[in-house]
């Protein structure tokens, strides 16, 4: 099995877009496995929290890294 990763858009009719370069590789009636990974607000919040936490880190704090 070969895997291809790309970002798709959900079209107005609910279908997912497929890049032209992949359409060439698909035969009529091809069976494919689809995995959806959705960005969510919690992921965004966690990324923001981590960035803010690391802003508070100082070189002076590095002494604690060796304990």
Q: What is the pLDDT of residues 1-48, one digit of tens each?
A: 889 999 899 999 999 999 999 999 999 888 999 888 877 777 778 888
The model's pTM is 0.48
pLDDT of residue 11: 94
- In whole angstroms, give the CA distance from residue 32 to residue 29: 9
Q: Where are the alpha helices (DSSP H) in 1-67?
A: 20-23, 41-55
Q: Are 41 and 48 in contact (CB under 8 A)?
A: no
**Can you give the residue ranges of every domain in the chain?**
1-62
- In whole angstroms, give the CA distance from residue 67 to residue 55: 21
What token pair was written down for 65? 């890294």
């Amino acid at each position: 099995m070969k895997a291809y990763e790309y970002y798709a858009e959900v079209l107005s009719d609910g279908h997912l877009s497929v890049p032209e370069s992949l359409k060439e590789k698909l035969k009529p009636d091809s069976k494919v496995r689809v995995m959806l990974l959705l960005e969510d607000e919690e992921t965004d919040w966690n990324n923001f929290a981590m960035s803010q936490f690391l802003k508070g880190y100082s070189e002076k704090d590095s002494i604690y890294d060796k304990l």
